[in-house]
Amino acid sequence: MSSLHTCDSRLTTKTRDAFEVCRTRGLSMAMDIRNLDTVGAAITTCEMHTGGEPLRILEIGGPNLVGNTILEKRKDFRRNHDHIRKALMREPRGHYDMYGAARVAPDCDGADVAFLFMHNEGYSTMCGHAVIALGRYCLDTGIVQPKEPETLVNIQCPCGLVPVYVSYKNGKSGSVRFHSVPSFVFCTGLKVFIPELDRSITVDVAYGGAFYVFVSAQELGIDISFESPKKKSTEMGQAITNAAKNTVKVEHPDSEDLAFLYGTIIVDTSTLESDGLIRQMTVFADCELDRSPTGSGTSAHVALLVAGDRMKMNQTVEFESAVTKSRFSARAINEVQSGRFDAVTVEVSGNAYYTGKNVYVTEADDPFKTGFVVK
């Protein structure tokens, strides 16, 4: 794992000066921690965001996971070390919509590094916003040696190997693009009864590293513009996911561990033909609202649009978050096969940024060792 001070060389002069003031005044967090009665190891993290969606990267203090494959290690984390996820994702150390990643040893040919992903409910199989951030992180921490003008970082995710291309100029990492795992349409025109609406709606289901339900805002009669309140829309997204889980059983040709509905994406495609822009809002895990346009969801959406002849191969479309107005660019670059499914490889591009470094501890008498959630 990277050391606590891995990213210090990337900090601005003012930030480095602030760290030095803390050290000279005896305010070193590491020194304070040694005087605490704690349980377990102190955990250090690097904090980033992509399109406003947070990423907490676990650096030091993580568990030694058992398993020969990344999916086996994912199971071990969930079964035997879930208290770490809960402590880092939930309040008071995190918040309801926090997202995280933990580095593990890769088991896939060609992989430079591997990561598990975590959120308020558990562990996901793919995360595009995280991959964009981790591309920069892998260069800036020396996991992969950077080279200009672009560096390839092969990241193994639970869903498979994801090639990530990070721009690099004058010693600084920049924008990132990744190539998705095979993304495909599972079903279209599915009727799902929503108890909260007391009626059925028509949805599509597609995969881009995780399975998503897609439904138009017009179908729901709701507004997902940037200015609109998000609470009711978020609750509706979760209600649709729950209802769809009771209606359809998804399947994936590679592993049963990938075959579950991860969330619902409410979309507004009214400006696709005129402006090449799609607005979307993703509710995933346990009613978690994505601040970014959702990388894996964008991959799935591109597969859906290509299959429906609303988007051509190599046509670039902008996907905008209904929450933050942040954008990903995406295009289908290859036609591939995934078991019985006609699929595409999708290139998704975006930007990620550093927000800080943290050290987390758990005192022995803390009643909230594994945190709590407030919906």
Which tens digits make up the pLDDT trace of 232-262? Answer: 999 999 999 999 999 999 999 999 999 999 9
Domain with 323 in it: what CATH number? 3.10.310.10
Residues 191 and 320 in one domain: yes
Residues 134 and 189 in one domain: no
Q: Characterize 144-165 residue by residue with b for buried, 16 or more Cβ atoms within 10 angstroms of its Cβ, and e for exposed.
A: bebeeeebebbbbbbbbbbbbb
Catalytic residues: 127
| Residue 371: inside a domain | no
Residues 236 and 165 in one domain: no
| Residue 332: inside a domain | yes
| Residue 113: inside a domain | yes
Residues 191 and 170 in one domain: no
| Residue 51: inside a domain | yes
Please determine, for residue 22, whether its predicted confidence score (pLDDT) is greater than 60.
Answer: no
Instruction: Give the integer Cα–Cα distance in Å for 257 and 80.
Output: 17
Q: What is the pLDDT of residues 314-360, one digit of tens each?
A: 999 999 999 999 999 999 999 999 999 999 999 999 999 999 999 99
| Residue 303: inside a domain | yes
Please determine, for residue 13, whether its predicted confidence score (pLDDT) is greater than 60.
Answer: no
Q: Residue 158: is the preceding peptide bond cis (ω within 30°)?
A: no
Predicted local confidence at residue 3, as pLDDT: 34
Residues 345 and 213 in one domain: yes
Asked whether the beta carbons of 284 and 245 are under 8 A apart, the reply is no
Give me the amino acid identity at 154.
N
Residues 201 and 172 in one domain: no
Predicted local confidence at residue 32, as pLDDT: 58
Q: What is the pTM assigned to this prediction?
A: 0.91
Residues 135 and 47 in one domain: yes
Q: What is the pLDDT of residues 74-101, one digit of tens each?
A: 999 999 999 999 999 999 999 999 999 9
| Residue 375: inside a domain | no
Instruction: Give the integer Cα–Cα distance in Å for 296 and 202.
Output: 22
Task: Work out how many domains the chain is built from and give that number.
Answer: 2
Instruction: Give the integer Cα–Cα distance in Å for 50 and 358.
Output: 18
Please determine, for residue 212, whether its predicted confidence score (pLDDT) is greater than 80.
Answer: yes
Predicted local confidence at residue 38, as pLDDT: 78
Residues 231 and 143 in one domain: no
Please determine, for residue 296, whether its predicted confidence score (pLDDT) is greater than 90.
Answer: yes
Residues 167 and 253 in one domain: no
| Domain range enclosing 139 | 6-179+354-360
Predicted local confidence at residue 41, as pLDDT: 81
Distances (CA, A) of 116 to 9, 34, 110, 160: 26, 29, 17, 11
DSSP 245-264: HTT-----SS-GGG-SEEEE
Please determine, for residue 28, whether its predicted confidence score (pLDDT) is greater than 70.
Answer: no
| Residue 368: inside a domain | no
Residues 149 and 209 in one domain: no
Q: What is the pLDDT of residues 98-115, one digit of tens each?
A: 999 999 999 999 999 999
Asked whether the beta carbons of 344 and 335 are under 8 A apart, the reply is yes
Residues 341 and 210 in one domain: yes
Angle (deg, nearest 10), helices 295-307 and 128-140: 130
What is the arithmetic mean of pLDDT over 156-185? 98
What is the arithmetic mean of pLDDT over 18-38? 54
Distances (CA, A) of 194 to 126, 167, 202: 27, 44, 10
| Residue 302: inside a domain | yes
Please determine, for residue 154, whether its predicted confidence score (pLDDT) is greater than 80.
Answer: yes
Residues 211 and 293 in one domain: yes
Please determine, for residue 21, whether its predicted confidence score (pLDDT) is greater than 50.
Answer: no
